[in-house]
């Protein structure tokens, strides 16, 4: 229990200390934001700070800090270290920089930002990579909730019926102004996500469950290696490239740059807290990592585990919160994924989105592709998403490092986590089942060499060149 409370305290302290360091380095000022200079009533819509925070939290969270943390808990309390320090030094920096740099560049999507700071070649890669990733996320987060809704309703309302219903909602959320659908329901579901996490934490503590103390021992029942598998599995609870696709949406709604720390970095810390709670609950509720593994197998995955934990700890109210968690939260990630895909394509081809007709040109094909992809078994594809997600985070961090370097700011806050995530992504794809399946003896040093090579390229391309590339004028 001491480890859990210490980890929680460090997370909160990290927000009140390190986030201020990151903010001071970046230097928010009083310049007008895109929300005030480019207001279009659709995507560029000024909103209140508290509402943007809750929308950002649900945008980046959804099921990520729940499902990823539960899976990460299979390695034991060592997962607490990654959630805490990953959130403070990697995830928070990643989200803050991707959102703030977007504000400085007219609310541009992450692919356009990467193009500015990492070159045209990377921009093309990121455009395709981002759209494919977002459509995959949107599709999976349509089929999963549809299947769950089919289990809770009469046989006539099967998964196919609910899939159409979910996609119709996605159509509205992707097409309509951000304050008409997302701005109205997201704050409510964001509050539900927080209440569910706090309720679970209270239930675990009050009802006397034992949260194990920190050990660096690998407790995974299948003896899967901590490095790099745990760092990819937890994903959203520590750092996630998906966040870089979501932050620009809120960058178009913020009315002051000085709100950025609480919205971007703050939402990431809140997600880290939620992930920490669920990681602790997963191993405490089932008394061991082996018990958690058996529960995951018995209940068909994390959804069943979430349902049992909430129902047992919180009773009928917990059951309702669990249903919101495993149905509404993924839907909330899916709709913003499709909306981000629309904005990425619009930025790519410079298509104005102030008219309904031009939004339809992009939205309809995207959702048709999602409908077609929903017929495919995504169990295998989703595993590739985990790696793709962390690779996107790596790229976004390198773009942030170059931005800071060009503006003669302390780039180490981004370059260090970017180097670390380069090692994670490279090592994972080299040794994972869905990757090249190379032996550890090769994958580990190769991952380190790749990360070192990225750092060397960054030094010679961004740090060492004279003032020709610095500072950036905006």
Looking at residue 467, its pLDDT comes to 52
Burial (CB count within 10 angstroms: exposed 0-12, middle 13-18, buried 19+), residue 101: buried
Looking at residue 378, its pLDDT comes to 52
Please, what is the Cα angle at 405 between 401 and 409, to 5 degrees?
Answer: 100
User: How many Å apart are CA 324 and CA 188, to the nearest integer?
Assistant: 11
When pLDDT is averaged across residues 388-416 and rounded to a whole number, the result is 95
Query: Is residue 366 within 8 Å of residue 342, measured between CB atoms?
Result: yes
Read off the pLDDT of residues 341-355 as tens digits, 9 standing for 90 and up.
999 999 999 999 989
pLDDT range class, residue 139, cuts 50, 70, 90? confident
Taking 70 as the threshold, does the pLDDT of residue 470 lie above it?
no
pLDDT range class, residue 468, cuts 50, 70, 90? very low
Nearest Cα neighbor of 239 from 216, 266, 271, 261 is 271
Whole-number percent of the chain with pLDDT over 90: 67
Per DSSP, which regions of 232-372 are E strands?
none
Query: Is residue 286 within 8 Å of residue 295, measured between CB atoms?
Result: yes
User: How many Å apart are CA 218 and CA 230, to the nearest integer?
Assistant: 10
pTM for the complete prediction? 0.93
Looking at residue 146, its pLDDT comes to 83
DSSP state of 374: T
CA distances to 42, 414, 433, 462, 465 from 406, in Å: 32, 13, 39, 7, 10
Looking at residue 300, its pLDDT comes to 78
Taking 60 as the threshold, does the pLDDT of residue 299 lie above it?
yes
Q: Average the pLDDT over each of 44-53, 135-144, 195-204, 422-431 and give the range with the smallest value.
A: 135-144
Taking 70 as the threshold, does the pLDDT of residue 445 lie above it?
yes
Read off the pLDDT of residues 227-260 as tens digits, 9 standing for 90 and up.
999 999 998 889 999 999 999 999 999 999 999 9
Percentages helix, strand, coil for the chain (3-state, rounded to 5) are: 75, 0, 25
Taking 90 as the threshold, does the pLDDT of residue 36 lie above it?
yes
User: How many Å apart are CA 421 and CA 236, to the nearest integer?
Assistant: 13
CB neighbours of residue 37 within 10 Å: 11
Q: Average the pLDDT over each of 42-56, 228-242, 315-329 and give the range with the smallest value.
A: 315-329
DSSP state of 31: P
Read off the pLDDT of residues 256-273 as tens digits, 9 standing for 90 and up.
999 999 999 999 999 999
Query: Where do the domains of the chain lie?
Result: 2-389
Please, what is the Cα angle at 83 between 126 and 451, to 5 degrees?
Answer: 45
Average pLDDT in the chain: 90
Taking 90 as the threshold, does the pLDDT of residue 137 lie above it?
no
Architecture category of domain 2-389 in CATH? Up-down Bundle (1.20)
pLDDT range class, residue 302, cuts 50, 70, 90? confident
DSSP state of 473: P
Looking at residue 70, its pLDDT comes to 93
């Amino acid at each position: 229990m001491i480890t859990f409370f210490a980890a929680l305290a460090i997370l909160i302290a990290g927000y009140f200390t390190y986030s201020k360091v990151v903010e001071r380095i970046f230097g928010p000022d009083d310049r007008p934001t895109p929300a005030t200079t480019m207001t279009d009533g659709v995507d560029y819509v000024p909103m209140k700070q508290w509402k943007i925070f809750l929308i950002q939290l649900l945008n980046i969270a959804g099921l990520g800090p729940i499902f990823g943390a539960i899976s990460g808990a299979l390695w034991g309390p060592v997962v607490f270290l990654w959630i805490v320090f990953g959130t403070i030094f990697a995830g928070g920096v990643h989200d803050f920089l991707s959102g703030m740099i977007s504000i400085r560049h007219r609310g541009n999507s992450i692919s356009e930002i990467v193009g500015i700071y990492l070159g045209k070649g990377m921009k093309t890669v990121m455009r395709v990579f981002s759209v494919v990733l977002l459509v995959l996320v949107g599709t999976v987060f349509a089929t999963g909730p549809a299947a769950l809704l089919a289990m809770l309703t009469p046989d006539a309302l099967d998964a196919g019926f609910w899939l159409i219903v979910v996609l119709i909602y996605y159509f509205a959320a992707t097409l309509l102004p951000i304050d008409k659908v997302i701005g109205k329901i997201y704050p409510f579901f964001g509050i539900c996500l927080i209440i569910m996490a706090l309720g679970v934490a209270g239930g675990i503590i009050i009802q006397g469950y034992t949260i194990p103390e920190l050990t660096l021992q690998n407790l995974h029942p299948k003896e899967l290696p901590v490095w790099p598998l745990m760092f990819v599995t937890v994903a959203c609870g520590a750092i996630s490239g998906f966040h870089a696709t979501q932050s620009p949406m809120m960058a178009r709604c913020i009315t002051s740059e000085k709100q950025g720390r609480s919205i971007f970095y703050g939402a990431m810390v809140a997600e880290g807290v939620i992930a920490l709670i669920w990681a602790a609950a997963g191993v405490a509720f089932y008394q061991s990592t082996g018990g958690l593994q058996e529960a995951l197998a018995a209940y068909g995955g994390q959804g069943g585990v979430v349902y049992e934990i909430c129902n047992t700890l919180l009773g009928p109210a917990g059951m309702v919160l669990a249903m919101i968690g495993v149905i509404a939260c993924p839907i909330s990630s899916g709709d913003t994924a499709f909306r981000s895909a629309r904005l990425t394509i619009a930025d790519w081809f410079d298509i104005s989105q102030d008219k309904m007709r031009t939004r339809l040109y992009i939205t309809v094909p995207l959702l048709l592709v999602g409908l077609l992809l929903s017929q495919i078994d995504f169990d295998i594809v989703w595993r590739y998403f985990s790696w793709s997600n962390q690779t996107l985070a790596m790229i976004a961090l390198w773009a942030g490092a170059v931005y800071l370097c060009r503006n003669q700011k302390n780039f180490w806050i981004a370059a260090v986590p970017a180097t670390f995530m380069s090692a994670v992504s490279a090592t994972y794809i080299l040794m994972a089942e869905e990757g090249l399946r190379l032996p550890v003896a090769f994958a580990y040093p190769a991952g380190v060499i790749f990360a070192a090579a990225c750092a060397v390229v960054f030094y010679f391309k961004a740090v060492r060149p004279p003032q020709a590339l610095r500072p950036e004028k905006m």
